[in-house]
A and B are shown apart, each in its own frame.
Chain A
Amino acid sequence: MSRLYVARSPRVAARSLDGEMMIMSGRDSTLFTLNRTATILWQAADGITPLDEIVRLRICAEFDVEPAAALADAEQLSRDLASHEILQVSDKPIPQPGAPSGEAP
């Protein structure tokens, strides 16, 4: 199975509010909030690190979850976010110059 790469869409607005990520879609100004796990995934979505590595290094390291189940959930979440155009998903790396994470500089 090929690896998935995820990258934050450059057209969204994002800001962390008390650990919860607020994201406004660049397509239709819909506002989303991400829970803690989804926020970790969002912040790690640099287009270079494969999703399975993000899950292994960031999610499984912090939460007590089965890696296979966590990866399946992460893939589903990534595709959901991609359907709202707030995340890009590809089977190839997605290089992004200085991709911002919504965290303060």
Chain B
Amino acid sequence: MSGLLEEMTAKALKLNIPLSVQLDLTYRCNERCVHCYLDHEDHGEMSAAEIKGLLNEMAEAGVFILTLSGGEIFLRKDFFEILEYARRKLTFCVKLKTNAILIRETEAARIRDLGVESVQISIYSHRPEVHDAITLVPGSLQRSLDAARFLKSQGLRVILANVLMAQNFQDYPSLRALAAEMGLESTIDPTITPMMDGDRSVLNLGIHRDALRQVFRDSSLVGNVEEFCAVAPEADENSLEALPCSASHTTCYVSPYGDVFPCVQFPLPTGNVRKQRFIDIWRHSKQMNEVRSIRLKDLTTCPSCTHVSQCSRCPGLAYLEGNMRGPSSQDCERSFAKTGIPSANMLAKRPSAGNLVQIRLHSSSACAPAPGAIA
């Protein structure tokens, strides 16, 4: 984050302004990515008129950065009507997230004319047999990459976003090289989000602990490996007063049905813009204020954890595990992959010596887990 944006974010935090909102325009999609957490049926999306009304309310509330995502946003016939309203009338800083397979030269030129800040395209590999096996749409890699070229040729900022899974892990260096060759930015993320209905089976698609360890030791990704993988400094009172993340503080998420959540990855219902004004949900929702009140010191397991002062703990993933004040196992894995030191949560989940005694009648100390190992 730039210094000035950081300064503006601090100001927004102080004034309780939602500086950045992700609005999903639809959950419908023309791809069927194996790891996707969404239900792609349309259960009553907001109309263009409803969305324009919402955008008016958001602008009035001070929202500056508007991320339009989905589902696949270009499946909405009124997408450009909404985008034009957001840009020309309300001057949002608009970022798009898309698979881009419906973007051709004409759409790319229109996106450029409307002054979109960036277009993020989901790409999982440089190899069609890997990417298309994830999207389950033959030819999708070629179409997405063609779109990336059209957008780039218009001078737009294009970001290739890659979710790391066991299926595509080996390909990330080549995909990054391809992005660089095309003059595009690229990101990788090992986070798999559980399904919105709570089904966690998609988590099995994630990369193995050893692979994560390897990613965190790739200096082309993390810079100084020693620094990146260093054990966190001991937490003091100040660090335990810190906010867990920006969700509900300066950012939130709105679904295609008007439901407002702290974040796209934090499906705690806080209100619906079809029934209440956006600003009233933001300021007065009991749930929004509950999330807002949580400090690191209030968490259940984490305050005593070695990693607490540097942990990437996602409160949304913790909520999806059953407790928004609890640990997020995926982030525990990250801290472990970086440092080799198990988190407090991992240690708590280890089989206790008592259990071992019960199972192995003649247990000895050699049966206990070695220090530093995890269950």
Contacting B91 at CB < 8 Å: which of A14, A17, A31, A32? A14
A13 sits at the interface (CB 8 A): yes
Question: What are the interface flags for B72-96 relative to A under an 8 Å C-beta threshold, 1 for contact and 0 otherwise?
Answer: 0000000000000001111111100
- Most chain-B CB neighbours within 10 Å: which of A16, A26, A98? A26
Chain A min CB distance to B81 (Å): 15
Instruction: Indicate if the CB atoms of A22 and B8 lie closer than 8 Å.
Output: yes
Instruction: Indicate if the CB atoms of B11 and A100 lie closer than 8 Å.
Output: no
Known: A17-B11, A105-B56, A105-B60. A12 touches B115 (CB 8 A): yes
- Most chain-B CB neighbours within 10 Å: which of A12, A13, A26, A101? A13
- Please name all residues of chain B whose beta carbon is closer than 8 Å to the beta carbon of A11 when the two chains form the complex: 115
- Please name all residues of chain A whose beta carbon is closer than 8 Å to the beta carbon of B117 when the two chains form the complex: 13, 24, 26, 29
- Please name all residues of chain A whose beta carbon is closer than 8 Å to the beta carbon of B92 when the two chains form the complex: 13, 15
Instruction: Indicate if the CB atoms of B64 and A13 lie closer than 8 Å.
Output: yes
A66 sits at the interface (CB 8 A): no
Known: A10-B115, A13-B64, A17-B17. A29 touches B157 (CB 8 A): yes
- Please name all residues of chain A whose beta carbon is closer than 8 Å to the beta carbon of B157 when the two chains form the complex: 29
Question: What are the interface flags for B1-20 relative to A under an 8 Å C-beta threshold, 1 for contact and 0 otherwise?
Answer: 01011001001100101010
Chain A min CB distance to B220 (Å): 24
Assembly CA distance A12 to B94 (angstroms):
10
B118 sits at the interface (CB 8 A): yes
Known: A13-B115, A100-B88, A105-B59. A18 touches B11 (CB 8 A): yes
Assembly CA distance A32 to B19 (angstroms):
15
Assembly CA distance A17 to B12 (angstroms):
8
- Please name all residues of chain A whose beta carbon is closer than 8 Å to the beta carbon of B59 when the two chains form the complex: 15, 104-105
Assembly CA distance A29 to B63 (angstroms):
17
Chain A min CB distance to B67 (Å): 12
Assembly CA distance A40 to B146 (angstroms):
43
Instruction: Indicate if the CB atoms of B11 and A15 lie closer than 8 Å.
Output: no
A39 sits at the interface (CB 8 A): no
Across the interface, name the chain B residue whose C-beta is closest to A31: B4
- Please name all residues of chain B whose beta carbon is closer than 8 Å to the beta carbon of A49 when the two chains form the complex: none
Assembly CA distance A16 to B117 (angstroms):
18
Assembly CA distance A18 to B15 (angstroms):
8
User: CB within 8 Å of A: which of B219-246?
Assistant: none
Instruction: Indicate if the CB atoms of B91 and A26 lie closer than 8 Å.
Output: no
Instruction: Indicate if the CB atoms of B88 and A33 lie closer than 8 Å.
Output: no
A102 sits at the interface (CB 8 A): yes
Instruction: Indicate if the CB atoms of A15 and B62 lie closer than 8 Å.
Output: yes
- Please name all residues of chain B whose beta carbon is closer than 8 Å to the beta carbon of A104 when the two chains form the complex: 56, 59-60, 62
Assembly CA distance A32 to B87 (angstroms):
18
Across the interface, name the chain A residue whose C-beta is closest to B12: A17
- Please name all residues of chain A whose beta carbon is closer than 8 Å to the beta carbon of B64 when the two chains form the complex: 13, 15, 17, 22
Instruction: Indicate if the CB atoms of A15 and B60 lie closer than 8 Å.
Output: no
Across the interface, name the chain A residue whose C-beta is closest to B64: A15
Contacting A13 at CB < 8 Å: which of B11, B60, B94? B94
Assembly CA distance A73 to B156 (angstroms):
33
Instruction: Indicate if the CB atoms of A13 and B91 lie closer than 8 Å.
Output: yes
- Please name all residues of chain B whose beta carbon is closer than 8 Å to the beta carbon of A33 when the two chains form the complex: 4, 8
Q: What are 19 A-B residue pairs whose CB atoms fall within 8 Å in the complex?
A: A10-B115, A13-B87, A14-B91, A15-B64, A15-B92, A16-B62, A17-B8, A17-B19, A22-B64, A24-B93, A24-B117, A26-B115, A31-B8, A32-B4, A100-B89, A102-B91, A104-B56, A104-B60, A105-B89
B-side interface residues toward A, CB under 8 Å? 2, 4-5, 8, 11-12, 15, 17, 19, 56, 59-60, 62-64, 87-94, 115, 117-118, 157
Q: Apart from A10-B88, A104-B62, what 8 extra A-B contacts exist at CB < 8 Å?
A: A10-B115, A12-B115, A20-B11, A33-B4, A33-B8, A98-B88, A104-B60, A105-B59
